């Protein structure tokens, strides 16, 4: 019995003349994720991608798990391939779904007939197949409102398909269809979630992290690299830039008012990030900021930070509370890593009483006490890069 994976599109179906571009990117992303599992034939038709295993020993459970994390997919399912013949559909439905139907109490049949040349209409398919299944499985009764099992028959151009479970996909748009952006990745809970959320909108993610040895440890860097690797499950390959930041932070401490330490630090981070973004062809920066979460994330503080930015700063978590952010971090398996007790450079020289409502003129005046440009250039030149690949 031949079994395949049916991948159903989400908002990609609304893309009109651009739809083929999105389909092609989705196909490439699926191929990359499944490369280590064997050989597959991928075809697209009627807002569906058909994943056909070309090896008999393919682990379809693993295929479903991996494909379920690929953005651009609304739903997916394992399905049995049938001839466009009602007798074959019936025989395959009984055989393919027998185990789950024997354990269920209620069911219904749902039919979708996109090939209008098929001699039976959808209601006829439902009625006839439903009657046969009731005879074969006396434990079943029909419940059209809340069935335990929904047996679905899809009659398409070349074949018919039978399946009983639609699995919710990751949604969004295929990664790579919305350009590239640079994620400011700390060791905290918020920034990995921000990267995930922008990847869901089709953005290809690179990441930048700042280290301040000896104030930050190798374990802190390893923690961030682990987060970066975890994000590849959803984002694909990620270029990771590591910036030496010690001299800049010490210069801030020695030359700027304490209450402005954090905002000036973030402004200088943005300056460096923009230089790295330009080299990496990134069109925007991404942060995990949420309004009011800490002193540097008030609207006044964000205004002071954004004043140095020449490209957009995307903040997908900006209107979320911590509970919502944590919920997503658990879903994408970054939470437990994020709460490991290794501090990042944002906690170095933290002011005792940070300015909550800073004025831009005051910040610019305080920052102008020292010429940071040579240190910025030195940090950019000292930046190292490594690439994290999807590793399964």
Predicted confidence at residue 147, as pLDDT, reads: 95
Predicted confidence at residue 297, as pLDDT, reads: 82
Distance separating alpha carbons of residues 117 and 291, to the nearest angstrom? 57
DSSP reduced 3-state for 253: helix
8 Å CB contact between 51 and 7: yes
Note if the pTM is more than 0.85.
yes
Strands 73-82 and 106-113: unpaired
**What are the residues whose beta carbons fall under 8 Å from the beta carbon of 57, sequence distance 6 or more?**
38
- Each residue's pLDDT, cut to its tens digit, for the chain (392 residues) gives 899 999 999 888 888 888 889 999 999 999 999 999 999 999 988 889 999 999 888 999 999 999 999 999 999 999 999 999 999 999 999 999 999 999 999 999 999 998 899 999 999 999 999 999 999 999 999 999 999 999 999 999 889 999 998 899 999 999 999 999 999 999 899 999 999 999 999 999 999 999 999 988 899 999 999 999 999 999 999 999 999 999 999 999 999 998 899 999 999 999 999 999 999 999 999 999 998 887 778 898 999 999 999 999 999 999 999 999 999 999 999 999 999 887 776 666 677 777 778 899 999 999 999 999 999 999 999 999 999 998 77
8 Å CB contact between 304 and 267: yes
Predicted confidence at residue 217, as pLDDT, reads: 87
8 Å CB contact between 163 and 80: yes
Predicted confidence at residue 345, as pLDDT, reads: 66
Which domains are assigned to the chain? 3-170 (3.30.2130.30), 180-388 (3.40.50.620)
Predicted confidence at residue 348, as pLDDT, reads: 65
Q: Give the C-alpha distances (Å, rounded to integers) separating 194 from 190, 289, 319, 321.
A: 6, 8, 12, 13
Predicted confidence at residue 13, as pLDDT, reads: 84
Tokens, residue 48 = 């569906």
8 Å CB contact between 73 and 13: no
Predicted confidence at residue 216, as pLDDT, reads: 87
Query: How many C-alpha atoms does 294 have within 13 Å on its Cβ side?
Result: 14
DSSP reduced 3-state for 177: coil
Distance separating alpha carbons of residues 267 and 274, to the nearest angstrom? 11
Nearest to 308 by CA among 373, 245, 246: 373
8 Å CB contact between 76 and 4: no
**What are the residues whose beta carbons fall under 8 Å from the beta carbon of 72, sequence distance 6 or more?**
9, 10, 12, 22, 25, 26, 29, 169, 170, 172, 173, 174, 175, 177, 202
Predicted confidence at residue 111, as pLDDT, reads: 95
Distance separating alpha carbons of residues 290 and 331, to the nearest angstrom? 19
């Amino acid at each position: 019995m031949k079994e395949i994976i049916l991948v159903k599109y989400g908002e990609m179906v609304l893309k009109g003349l651009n739809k083929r571009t999105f389909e092609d990117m989705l196909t490439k992303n699926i191929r990359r994720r499944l490369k280590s599992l064997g050989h597959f034939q991928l075809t697209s038709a009627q807002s569906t991608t058909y994943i056909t295993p070309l090896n008999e020993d393919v682990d379809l459970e693993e295929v479903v798990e991996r494909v379920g994390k690929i953005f651009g997919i609304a739903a997916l399912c394992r399905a049995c391939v049938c001839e466009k013949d009602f007798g074959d559909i019936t025989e395959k439905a009984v055989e393919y779904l027998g185990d789950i139907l024997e354990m269920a109490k209620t069911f219904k049949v749902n039919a979708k007939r996109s090939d209008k040349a098929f001699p039976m209409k959808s209601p006829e398919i439902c009625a006839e197949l439903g009657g046969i299944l009731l005879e074969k499985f006396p434990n079943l009764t029909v419940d059209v409102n809340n069935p335990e099992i929904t047996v679905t028959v899809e009659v398409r151009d070349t074949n018919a398909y039978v399946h009983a479970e639609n699995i919710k996909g990751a949604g969004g748009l295929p990664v790579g269809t919305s350009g590239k952006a640079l994620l400011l990745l700390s060791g905290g809970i918020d920034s990995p979630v921000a990267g995930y959320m922008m990847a869901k909108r089709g953005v290809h993610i690179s990441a930048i992290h700042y280290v301040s040895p000896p104030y930050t440890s190798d374990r802190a860097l390893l923690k961030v690299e682990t987060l970066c690797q975890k994000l590849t499950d959803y984002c694909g390959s990620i270029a990771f830039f590591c910036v030496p930041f010690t001299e800049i932070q010490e210069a801030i401490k020695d030359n700027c008012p304490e209450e402005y330490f954090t905002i000036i630090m973030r402004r200088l981070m943005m300056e460096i990030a923009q230089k790295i973004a330009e080299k990496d062809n990134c069109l925007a920066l991404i942060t995990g900021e949420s309004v009011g979460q800490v002193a540097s994330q008030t609207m006044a503080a964000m205004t002071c930070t954004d004043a140095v930015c020449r490209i957009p700063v995307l903040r997908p978590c900006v209107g979320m509370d911590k509970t919502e952010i944590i919920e997503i971090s658990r879903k994408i398996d970054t939470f437990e890593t994020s709460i490991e007790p290794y501090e990042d450079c944002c906690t170095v020289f933290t002011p005792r009483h940070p300015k909550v409502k800073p004025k831009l003129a005051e910040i610019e005046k305080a920052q102008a006490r020292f010429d940071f440009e040579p240190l910025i250039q030195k940090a950019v030149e000292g930046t190292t890069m490594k690439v994290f690949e999807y590793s399964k």
